[in-house]
């Protein structure tokens, strides 16, 4: 929870693309004064200039699509600014009225009451590489969509691939061998193939750009330690590092798993206990990466050539922790897989335990 000095002037900011609604709560006052300004930097500077000592100001706004540039601007102006986790803002069940003025006032009052939770503001460099990792995820999604469209087009016209997995070299050769008589179908196939080739080239290009950051400060040491774990490639490790930032802000592995949205939901009351699926709260990119990494533990424990390469030159203690994690997770995957009908449930459980091992590694 965010704590503020009792003599501070508080700013609750409801931030939008073009406007900012600012609620000013002076020390000793219980009623915020609300003003609406433009969201451009000059307007923010004029707002701060109204106060004689910016160091006595504490501002807050909800994390959202406008990013962290406002927090960085206020910090440069000498104002303490906290970016608030929207999902952790208390809301009265009977409160059905939502306006920018009410939101700004509520933020200022909750900030004074110490009822808000802050998110970590990444550095400019961390955010830049994180955006590059997220751009790759978008490119992979675009490539998958292009693959599906091409497959469905061929299926509609009775062209079914029956010789193994899709998108292998043999599958690509088979697609290139397809021929149609109708000019419109020839053009359609050409467009779908061209789109897929463009998406594949985009993914290859962004992979090459990301590879330069594996060995670049401040990511190199964290990436190497995380990549020592089976299923966590260097690219996956870079994604984890840029999304988490400071691992020590989570006091326990359970809190980190909760941040990833991998803990079970629960609605229990009295003598009734009811647990459901995972919460899906928190960081989607982290959760996706951990689930993808968890799939490899369906196989028996082993250290292949690629994993051995990633572990070269590392502290033996890191390698030992990686092996212990692999023994635990492979065994647990096997036992759960024998009991559960849905393998996705098993993978989710393994991803949750893997998140605990990775948190322990980065906080050791």
Could you give the CA distance from residue 107 to residue 31 in angstroms, rounded to a whole number? 12
Q: What order of strands is seen across the sheet that includes strand 19-25?
A: 33-38, 19-25, 9-15, 57-62, 80-84
| Mean of all residue pLDDT scores within the chain | 94
pLDDT at residue 267, rounded to an integer: 81
* pLDDT tops 80 at residue 177: yes
CA gyration radius, the chain = 25
Say how many CA atoms lie within 13 Å of 57 toward its Cβ.
25
Residue 160 to residues 154, 171, 290, Cα–Cα distance (Å): 7, 11, 33
What count of other Cβ atoms lies within 10 Å of the Cβ of residue 81? Answer: 21
* pLDDT tops 80 at residue 197: yes
Residue given tokens 């299923």 in the structure block: 231
Q: How much is the average pLDDT of 256-264?
A: 91
* pLDDT tops 80 at residue 269: no
Q: Left, alpha or beta for 28 (phi > 0: left; psi -120 to 50: alpha)? A: left
Confidence of residue 95 (pLDDT cuts 50, 70, 90): confident
pLDDT at residue 178, rounded to an integer: 95
Tokens of 362: 């980065």
Model's pTM, two decimal places?
A: 0.88
Of residues 263 and 198, more confidence is placed in 198
Nearest to 282 by CA among 255, 251, 261: 261
Could you give the CA distance from residue 230 to residue 326 in angstroms, rounded to a whole number? 7
pLDDT at residue 28, rounded to an integer: 87
Could you give the CA distance from residue 287 to residue 240 in angstroms, rounded to a whole number? 10
Percent of the chain at pLDDT above 70?
100
Residue 21 bridge partners (DSSP): 14, 36
Instruction: Summarize pLDDT for 221-246 with one digit per residue, the tens.
Output: 999 999 999 999 999 999 999 999 99
Instruction: Summarize pLDDT for 29-68 with one digit per residue, the tens.
Output: 999 999 999 999 999 999 999 999 999 999 999 999 999 9
pLDDT at residue 270, rounded to an integer: 81
Residue 19 bridge partners (DSSP): 38
Cβ–Cβ < 8 Å for 37, 130: no
Number of helices (H), then strands (E), belonging to the chain: the values are: 13, 7
DSSP helix, strand, coil percent of the chain (3-state; round to 5)? 55, 10, 35
Instruction: Summarize pLDDT for 59-93 with one digit per residue, the tens.
Output: 999 999 999 999 999 999 999 999 999 988 998 88
* pLDDT tops 90 at residue 176: yes
* pLDDT tops 80 at residue 363: yes
Percent of the chain at pLDDT above 90?
86
Handedness of CA 163, 164, 165, 170 (dihedral sign): negative
Instruction: Summarize pLDDT for 271-319 with one digit per residue, the tens.
Output: 787 878 888 888 899 999 999 999 999 999 999 999 999 999 999 999 9
pLDDT at residue 278, rounded to an integer: 87
């Amino acid at each position: 929870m965010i704590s503020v000095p009792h003599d501070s002037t508080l700013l609750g900011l409801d931030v939008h693309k073009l406007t900012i609604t600012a609620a000013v709560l002076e020390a000793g006052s219980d009623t915020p004064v609300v003003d609406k300004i433009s969201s451009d930097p000059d307007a923010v500077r004029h707002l701060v200039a109204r106060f004689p000592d910016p160091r006595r100001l504490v501002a807050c706004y909800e994390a959202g699509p406008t990013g962290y540039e406002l927090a960085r601007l206020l910090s440069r102006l000498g104002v303490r600014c906290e970016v608030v986790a929207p999902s952790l803002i208390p809301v009265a069940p009977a409160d059905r009225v939502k306006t920018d003025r009410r939101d700004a006032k509520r933020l200022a009052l909750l900030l004074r009451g110490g009822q808000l939770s802050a998110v970590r503001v990444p550095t400019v460099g961390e955010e830049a590489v994180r955006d590059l990792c997220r751009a790759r995820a978008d490119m992979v999604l675009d490539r998958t969509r292009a693959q599906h469209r091409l497959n469905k087009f061929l299926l509609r016209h009775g062209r079914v691939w029956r010789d193994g997995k899709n998108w292998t070299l043999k599958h690509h050769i088979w697609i290139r061998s397809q021929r149609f008589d109708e000019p419109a179908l020839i053009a359609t196939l050409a467009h779908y193939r061209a789109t897929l080739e463009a998406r594949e080239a985009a993914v290859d290009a962004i992979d090459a750009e990301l590879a330069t950051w594996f060995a670049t400060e401040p990511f190199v040491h964290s990436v190497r330690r995380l990549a020592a774990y089976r299923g966590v490639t260097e690219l996956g490790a870079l994604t984890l590092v840029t999304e988490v930032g400071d691992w020590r802000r989570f006091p326990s592995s359970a809190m980190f798993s909760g941040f990833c949205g991998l803990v079970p939901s629960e609605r229990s009351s009295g003598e009734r206990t009811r647990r459901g699926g995972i919460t899906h709260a928190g960081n989607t990119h982290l959760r996706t990466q951990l689930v993808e990494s968890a799939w490899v533990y369906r196989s028996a424990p082993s250290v292949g050539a690629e994993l051995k390469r990633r572990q070269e030159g590392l502290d033996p203690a890191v390698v030992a922790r990686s092996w212990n994690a692999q023994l635990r997770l492979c065994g647990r995957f096997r036992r759960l897989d024998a009991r559960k009908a849905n393998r996705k449930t098993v993978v989710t459980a393994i991803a949750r335990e893997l998140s605990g091992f990775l948190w322990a590694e980065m906080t050791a």
